[in-house]
């Protein structure tokens, strides 16, 4: 593949509802990957380890929030088993070449849903402007988003409409088909915990139990992912 094709995988964590006592922060994460940097062998290895845990690689999608909180498909799994799933995704992320950036809105200091969207819009547009020189070296940018929330879909179209390269919005994106989309999901959850700690907020009970507390989270998770942040 041409090394001037860049994939951008986008996911989010949190809720637009305001006020919302269960979700103080709203996070949008972007993962950037040059298609010339093959991750095929790493994907093959991750699929094999997931299969060994009893998951069909073509149907299983890593989802960090429910994994940490033991919800949905992860509700009957032990903490140790869920930890193995997370560790394998961490290992995959550490082996492959990509960069990422997360945007976060603290809903404690806003008045409406419209303000959440406007703050995200401001930060995303500023970030894309800062990347203009890098984007101008590309032939094509492929953007992957599952259209989970329409304000984010609209924002992405606005942010990339004037990009100095050809932009394709990939249709029918399903998380189980793209490991880098699942990495974006994981990074949103990691950034959410990181932001809580930065603001002096405590981890939730499920986060504390899953990660082993702030010190363990910083030592076992954050320090391995931060070098890939833009």
Residue % of the chain over a pLDDT of 70: 97
> pLDDT band at residue 119, thresholds of 50, 70 and 90?
very high
> pLDDT band at residue 19, thresholds of 50, 70 and 90?
low
Tell me the per-residue pLDDT of 181-220, one tens digit each, with 9 for 90 and over. 999 999 999 999 999 999 999 999 999 999 999 999 999 9
Residue 120 confidence (pLDDT) above 80:
yes
Residue % of the chain over a pLDDT of 90: 86
What letter would DSSP give residue 149?
Answer: S
**Cβ neighbours around 202 below 10 Å, total:** 10
Query: Rounded distance, CA 107 to CA 19, Å?
Result: 8
Q: What is the pLDDT of residue 1?
A: 37
**Half-sphere exposure for 70 (CA within 13 Å, toward CB):** 17
> pLDDT band at residue 82, thresholds of 50, 70 and 90?
very high
Tell me the per-residue pLDDT of 23-59, one tens digit each, with 9 for 90 and over. 899 999 999 999 999 999 999 999 999 999 999 988 8
Tell me what the mean pLDDT of segment 152-180 comes to: 94
Query: Rounded distance, CA 124 to CA 130, Å?
Result: 10
What letter would DSSP give residue 75?
Answer: T
> pLDDT band at residue 3, thresholds of 50, 70 and 90?
low
Tell me what the mean pLDDT of segment 109-125 comes to: 92
Query: Rounded distance, CA 109 to CA 112, Å?
Result: 10
Q: What is the pLDDT of residue 22?
A: 73
**Cβ neighbours around 21 below 10 Å, total:** 7
Average pLDDT, the chain: 94
Q: What SS3 class is residue 143?
A: strand
């Amino acid at each position: 593949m041409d090394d001037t094709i860049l994939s951008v995988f986008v996911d989010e964590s949190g809720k637009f509802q305001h006020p919302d006592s269960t979700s103080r922060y709203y996070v949008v994460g972007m993962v950037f990957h040059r298609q010339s940097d093959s991750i095929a062998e790493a994907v093959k290895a991750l699929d094999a380890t997931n299969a060994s845990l009893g998951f069909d690689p073509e149907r299983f999608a890593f989802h960090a929030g429910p994994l940490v909180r033991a919800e949905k498909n992860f509700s009957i799994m032990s903490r140790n088993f869920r930890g193995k799933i997370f560790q394998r995704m961490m290992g995959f992320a550490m082996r492959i070449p990509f960069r990422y950036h997360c945007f976060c809105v603290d809903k404690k200091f806003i008045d409406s849903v419209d303000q959440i969207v406007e703050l995200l819009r401001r930060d995303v547009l500023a970030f894309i402007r800062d990347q203009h020189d890098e984007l101008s070296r590309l032939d094509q940018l492929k953007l992957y988003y599952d259209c989970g929330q329409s304000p984010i879909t609209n924002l992405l179209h606005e942010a990339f409409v004037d990009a100095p390269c050809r932009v394709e919005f990939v249709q029918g994106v399903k998380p189980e088909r793209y490991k880098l989309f699942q990495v974006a999901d994981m990074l949103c959850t990691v950034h959410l915990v990181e932001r809580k700690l930065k603001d002096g907020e405590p981890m939730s009970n499920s986060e504390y139990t899953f990660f082993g507390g702030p010190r363990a989270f910083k030592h076992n998770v954050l320090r391995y992912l931060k070098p890939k942040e833009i």
